Amino acid sequence: MNLIELKKYLKKRRLTPMQDLVNRFRTDVETIEPMLEIWINKGRLKRHSCKGACQGGCGGCSSSDLEFLEWLE
3-state secondary structure of 55: coil
Q: Is residue 35 part of a domain?
A: yes
**pLDDT 10s digits, 40-64:** 999 999 999 876 555 555 555 555 4
First to last CA, the chain: 21
Separation CA 73–CA 69 (nearest Å): 12
CATH of the domain at 41: 1.10.10
Across the chain, mean pLDDT equals 85
How many domains would you assign to the chain? 1
State how beta strands 15-17 and 67-71 pair: antiparallel
Q: Is residue 25 part of a domain?
A: yes
pLDDT over threshold 90, residue 18: yes
Q: Is residue 58 part of a domain?
A: no
pLDDT over threshold 70, residue 10: yes
Q: What is the pTM of this model?
A: 0.77
- What pLDDT is attached to residue 1? 85
